[in-house]
Amino acid sequence: MLLTYYADLILKLPPSETRWSPAGTQTLVSHFPVGVVAAIVPWNFPQTLSAFKYAPALAAGNTVVLKPSPETPLDALLLAEVAHKAGLPAGVFNVLPGATDVGRALVTSPGVDKVSFTGSTSAGREVASTCGRLLKPVMLELGGKSAAVILDDPGLDLTEFAERLFAATLLNSGQTCFASTRILTSRRRYDEVVDFFTAMAQSLNIGDPLDPSTQIGPLVSAAQREKVERYIKQGLADGGTITTGGRRPPHLPDGYFIEPTIFAGLDNRSAVAREEIFGPVLTVIAYDDEDDAIRIANDSEYGLAGTVWSPDHDHAIAVAGRIRSGSVGINHYLPDITAPYGGIKNSGLGQELGLEGLQGLQNIKSIFAV
């Protein structure tokens, strides 16, 4: 779909346009490829996040070097075979598997004209530092710790949004950068919301990711599960209460599984509320009023995404406008390929998707034609 979208979009955009100044002079403004784009992608949605990068880059006339994560190289190699069979000329689309040293080599290579990186904030800082030193353009889509703001509006029935709440909070076993892992609710409804998410987590089918009925699969590695377990211990040490989950499923001894975990009794100062866990762990946090809810939502070093939940659409839109993040979903979360997607603060620099994602992979030249 992304390839078709950008193929159509590039044909609709004029390669250049004429602009006239108030003094009557003429300038030709043209767009041209940046050159070689290094696309460095993570393991959590390898094919989707790769397409976010190579689809607009190829449409804009660039060549691409795709570096997949060491955890997920095989589908990238299959993609290279598909590109070859589709008739792309040699050297236009390249796949370069490897670990961190390969990524560093790509970022520092004088043959790479722009870096497009999706990954952790810590790794993104290193990429940004190197690109800054080299004066090399860079796009960064980094971590997140998004808030799901549940408004205290009349008529709100969370069961009506159950499937969409699951997708916005626990998709891909919580290994999703935009996941709304901080659940903000009014004190009046706190127990009700805790009970809802507890019941939702308990109802989820944990098991084989190849089984269509599975809702929570394993984490990507033993190291990732150990990281999630350290955060769970930290949440307990900070005074939180686990209402469900928090352990390895006893019926699944093989695989890096962890039960969906709901924390209650913590505020926004706790580690599990402030740091990206990248696992199926949600923290329910109480707010006093709407202004307090927005304050808590914005009290984060991240600014990638967020959600607002209410039967009052106009009210939800108004609240979403006050949340400091690159995107906000109303009663759901799903990026739109026609709209820009990216973060602010420690969640990144630049945009992917939409027209903006294509323009970020082009250089601009002005010819003052008089």
- CA dist 146 → 94, 190, 297, 327 (Å): 34, 19, 8, 10
- Residue 119 sits in the same domain as residue 248: no
Domain housing 59? 2-142+343-368
pLDDT at 15: 85
CA distance 54 to 65: 9
Angle formed by the axes of helices 46-59 and 2-12, nearest 10°: 20
CA torsion through residues 66, 79, 91, 96, sign: positive
Q: Is 16 helix (H, G, I), strand (E, B) or coil?
A: strand
Note if 141 is an active site residue: yes
Q: What DSSP string runs through 307-346?
A: EEE-S-HHHHHHHHTTS-SS--EESS----TTS-B---GG
For residue 142, the surrounding DSSP H or E stretch is none
* Residue whose C-alpha is closest to residue 260's, from 181, 142, 146, 149: 181
What CATH number did the domain enclosing 285 receive?
3.40.309.10
Confirm whether 289 is domain-assigned.
yes
Q: Is 133 helix (H, G, I), strand (E, B) or coil?
A: helix
- CA dist 279 → 35, 140, 156, 168, 200 (Å): 37, 21, 28, 13, 16
pLDDT at 291: 98
Torsional class of 246: left (φ above 0), alpha (ψ -120 to 50), beta (otherwise): left
pLDDT at 58: 97
- Residue 283 sits in the same domain as residue 325: yes
- Residue 107 sits in the same domain as residue 244: no
Confirm whether 338 is domain-assigned.
no
Confirm whether 153 is domain-assigned.
yes
* Given 17, 71, 131, 141, the catalytic residue: 141
- CA dist 307 → 48, 50, 175, 224, 240 (Å): 21, 25, 17, 26, 23
Residue with tokens 């967020």: 306
- Residue 77 sits in the same domain as residue 16: yes
The total number of structural domains in the chain stands at: 2
Confirm whether 38 is domain-assigned.
yes
Confirm whether 43 is domain-assigned.
yes
Other CB atoms within a 10 A radius of the CB of residue 248 amount to 14
What CATH number did the domain enclosing 82 receive?
3.40.605.10
| DSSP strand pairing (348-349 vs 138-141) | antiparallel
- Residue 14 sits in the same domain as residue 60: yes
pLDDT at 370: 79
Confirm whether 277 is domain-assigned.
yes
Confirm whether 176 is domain-assigned.
yes
Q: What DSSP string runs through 185-220?
A: EEGGGHHHHHHHHHHHHHHSPBS-TTSTT-SB---S
* Given 81, 160, 177, 301, the catalytic residue: 177
* HSE, side-chain direction, 13 A CA sphere, residue 346: 18
- Residue 68 sits in the same domain as residue 152: no
Residues in the chain: 370
pLDDT at 208: 95
- Between the CA atoms of 71, 305, 50 and 112, what dihedral angle is there, to the nearest 10 degrees? -100
Other CB atoms within a 10 A radius of the CB of residue 363 amount to 14
- Residue 68 sits in the same domain as residue 191: no
Residue with tokens 């027209």: 355
* Residue whose C-alpha is closest to residue 305's, from 277, 341, 276, 280: 341
In this prediction, the residues of the chain whose per-residue pLDDT falls under 50 are none
Q: Which two tokens stand for residue 94?
A: 């390249």
- Residue 289 sits in the same domain as residue 232: yes
- Residue 95 sits in the same domain as residue 182: no
- Residue 261 sits in the same domain as residue 323: yes
Output DSSP code: residue 23.
T
- Residue 180 sits in the same domain as residue 129: no
- Residue 255 sits in the same domain as residue 125: no
Confirm whether 66 is domain-assigned.
yes
- Contact indicator for 322, 294 with CB cutoff of 8 Å: yes
